[in-house]
């Protein structure tokens, strides 16, 4: 009996529970369906589409080498998969479980459609360590604060060991599908031409990243992870986002390295896990603040300010370096993500959803749960949000985490000749660099305006209560 293996956010062969289960039933038909309509506004952004193109190419080659070519389809999975199951007489479709609201809705409808024909959709835990609905507080409620959540996960003990990749996959009869290029994934605007210098999409690239993030890097991780001018982080986020490596593989690899920084690193892995926990229980998170009173926050949308931020032309080198790194590489250092996000929502009073949307389109690791949870954290409206009075000073952040200016010199060449003492505040130099803008808002003024807006909201919330 043929079994369909539906690849989604698990584009790998090793530690793939859906693949492992499908192999127990006989011949396997691997399929990937590009279903943009179901995802709606949260269909893959431009940078993600670039990554997906090459990740599917790598997965297709790996599957073909094991005897089971990847079938590529485009359109409604809710319509295509039941027809495919009927054509090959498959009694089950195995897939890694998804957690996005639109995907949950589609899977429920697909389950009913298949059941009506005597077939099954069989979901597997593939992209997380634990299912969100199974983790509860002592009061039998979902976790809403990260620290207790992470402690609870650590208390559960070690996750199951990863499943090895199969050497051979018995293939079902071939079915008509599309060539990879016919999916139209590569964006027409070729801003991504520099991406291949920084990334190798696919399972082999993920394995190489994980191996390169060896014991020495892990040992230094707690002290060096906030230094954007150094290669001090794992770079695994896009590989995790597309499931080219599993959280279990990352967890056990970190443990095997035996370095002192493993606990700090695994806590970062669990922030991703926590984000999915929030998304499962609060599906409105990508669009609406988790704290309802923030729906009345006095944002001041201004296209000119948003564009300056997007283009890395704010006049603050650490902010501009981050935004330019994002545009050229599809990625930004995590410390800098917090700085640029704080600058947008607090100094400029632009809605956090505008920043979320820009990140979604330009990040190769654009992940709906982590992106939304992190933006809400910075904006102060999330479940486990930063205090409203925390307004990152972009000058002090640069001086603290990029003291010699290595990061900003790389991405903001206009200021590269300045001495360390003024590189993060070039307007104070005896000769400010030509061609580089003055700050679009003075830090003190921006901070005061943000604090006043947050304080007014808090007072209004108190009166309502």
Sheet harboring 28-34: ordered strands across? 71-74, 28-34, 3-7, 92-96, 120-124
**Is 375 among the residues known to form the active site?**
yes
Exactly one of 131, 271, 399, 427 is catalytic; name it.
271
DSSP class per residue in 354-391: HHHHHHHHH-TT--HHHHHHHHHHHHT-STTPPPTT--
User: Could you read off the pLDDT of 132-183 as tens digits, one per residue?
Assistant: 999 999 999 999 999 999 999 999 999 999 999 999 999 999 999 999 999 9
DSSP class per residue in 159-214: PPPPPPPPS--PBPPP-----GGGG--S-SSGGGGGGGGT---SHHHHHHHHHHS-
Exactly one of 131, 191, 230, 299 is catalytic; name it.
299
C-alpha distances out from residue 104 to 65, 73, 111, 239, Å:
32, 20, 10, 22
Exactly one of 230, 334, 414, 427 is catalytic; name it.
334
**Is 352 among the residues known to form the active site?**
yes
**pLDDT computed for residue 460 by the predictor:** 56
Cα–Cα dist 431/428, whole Å: 8
**pLDDT computed for residue 17 by the predictor:** 98
Exactly one of 131, 230, 268, 460 is catalytic; name it.
268
Q: Which residue has the tokens 């009166």?
A: 463
Domains belonging to the chain, first-starting first, are 3-126 (3.40.50.620), 128-160+203-281 (1.25.40.80), 292-464 (1.10.579.10)
Cβ-proximal residues to 24 (8 Å cutoff; 6+ apart), any chain:
none
Cβ-proximal residues to 82 (8 Å cutoff; 6+ apart), any chain:
110, 113, 114, 117, 119
**Is 167 among the residues known to form the active site?**
no
Where the chain has pLDDT below 50, the residues are: 461-465
**Is 284 among the residues known to form the active site?**
no
Q: Which residue has the tokens 């669990």?
A: 270
User: Hey, which residues does 71 pair with through a beta bridge?
Assistant: 31
**pLDDT computed for residue 386 by the predictor:** 66
Is residue 457 within 8 Å of 296, Cβ to Cβ? yes
User: Could you read off the pLDDT of 393-415 as tens digits, one per residue?
Assistant: 999 999 999 999 999 999 999 99
């Amino acid at each position: 009996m043929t079994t369909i293996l539906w690849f989604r956010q698990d584009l790998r062969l090793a530690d793939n529970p859906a693949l492992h289960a499908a192999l127990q039933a006989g011949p396997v038909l691997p399929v990937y369906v590009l279903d943009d309509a179901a995802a709606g506004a949260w269909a893959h952004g431009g940078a993600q589409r670039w990554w997906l193109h090459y990740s599917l190419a790598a997965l297709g080659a790996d599957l073909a080498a094991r005897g089971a070519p990847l079938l590529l389809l485009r359109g409604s999975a809710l319509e295509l998969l039941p027809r495919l199951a009927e054509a090959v007489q498959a009694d089950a479709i195995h897939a890694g479980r998804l957690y996005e609201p639109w995907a949950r809705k589609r899977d429920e409808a697909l389950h009913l459609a298949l059941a009506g024909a005597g077939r099954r959709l069989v979901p597997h835990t593939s992209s997380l360590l634990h299912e969100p609905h199974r983790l509860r507080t002592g009061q039998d409620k979902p976790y809403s604060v990260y620290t207790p959540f992470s402690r609870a996960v650590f208390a559960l003990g070690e996750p199951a060991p990863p499943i090895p990749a199969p050497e051979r996959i018995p293939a079902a009869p071939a079915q008509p599908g599309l060539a990879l290029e016919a999916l139209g994934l590569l964006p027409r605007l070729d801003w991504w031409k520099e991406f291949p210098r920084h990334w190798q999409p696919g399972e082999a690239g993920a394995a190489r990243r994980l191996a390169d993030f060896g014991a020495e890097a892990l040992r230094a991780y707690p002290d060096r992870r906030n230094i954007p001018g150094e290669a001090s982080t794992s770079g695994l986020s896009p590989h995790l986002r597309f499931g080219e490596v599993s959280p279990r593989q990352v967890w056990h690899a970190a443990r095997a390295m035996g370095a002192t920084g493993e606990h700090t690193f695994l806590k970062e892995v669990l922030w991703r896990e926590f984000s999915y926990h929030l998304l499962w229980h609060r599906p409105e998170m990508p669009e609406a603040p988790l704290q309802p009173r923030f729906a009345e926050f006095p944002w001041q949308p201004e296209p000119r300010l948003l564009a300056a931020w997007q283009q890395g032309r704010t006049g603050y080198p650490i902010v501009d370096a981050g935004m330019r790194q994002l545009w050229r590489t599809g990625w930004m250092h995590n410390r800098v993500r917090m700085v640029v996000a704080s600058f947008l929502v607090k100094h400029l009073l632009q809605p956090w959803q505008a920043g979320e949307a820009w990140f979604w389109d330009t990040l190769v690791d654009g992940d709906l749960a982590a992106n939304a949870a992190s933006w809400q954290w910075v904006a102060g409206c999330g479940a486990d949000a930063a205090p409203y009075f925390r307004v990152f000073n972009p000058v002090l952040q640069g001086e603290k985490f990029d003291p010699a200016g290595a990061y900003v010199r790389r991405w903001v060449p206009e200021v590269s000749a300045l001495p360390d003492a003024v590189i993060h505040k070039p307007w104070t130099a005896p000769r400010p660099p030509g061609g580089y803008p003055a700050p679009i808002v003075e830090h003190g003024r921006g901070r005061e305006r943000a604090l006043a807006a947050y304080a007014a909201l808090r007072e209004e919330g108190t009166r309502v209560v």
